[in-house]
């Protein structure tokens, strides 16, 4: 095992943090993509009914509780990534 000050299973701590940022980005990306695909699917399937009831695709998006949570997660992730990038003294 190497004699690094901060190591977790022979990876420097920054390598672990960077890996977690990449994995969390992929998870958030697929979460956003899944939400968009699911909403488009429901709008296509229930398109005629939504026209009769009066709720539009924009109203479905605006009143979506899931969208608000997804946007909160996106904002927290972006802030975390910016803090991580700004605290780095060197990228090599």
What pLDDT is attached to residue 45? 80
User: Quick one: which H or E segment has residue 11?
Assistant: strand 11-12
Higher-confidence residue of 19 and 57: namely: 19
- How many Cα atoms occupy the beta-carbon half-sphere of 14 within 13 Å? 10
CB 60 within 8 A of CB 67: no
Instruction: Tell me what pLDDT residue 46 has.
Output: 74
pLDDT at 64: 74
Which pLDDT tens digit goes with each residue over 23-69?
A: 998 999 999 899 888 878 877 887 666 556 656 666 766 677 788 88
Length of the chain, in residues? 92
Relative to beta strand 7-8, strand 11-12 is: antiparallel
Q: How confident is the model at residue 19 (pLDDT cuts 50, 70, 90)?
A: confident
pTM for the whole structure: 0.61
Q: Where are the domains of the chain?
A: 21-87
Distance CA(67)–CA(36), nearest Å, equals: 10
- Residue 79 CA to residue 21 CA, distance in Å, equals 12
């Amino acid at each position: 095992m190497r004699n690094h000050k901060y190591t977790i299973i022979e990876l420097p701590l920054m390598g672990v943090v960077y890996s977690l940022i990449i994995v969390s980005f992929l998870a958030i990306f697929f979460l956003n993509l899944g939400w968009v695909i699911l909403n488009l699917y429901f709008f296509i399937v229930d398109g005629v009914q939504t026209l009769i009831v009066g709720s539009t695709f924009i109203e479905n998006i605006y009143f979506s509780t899931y969208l608000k949570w997804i946007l909160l997660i996106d904002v927290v992730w972006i802030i975390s990534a910016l803090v991580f990038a700004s605290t780095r003294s060197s990228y090599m």
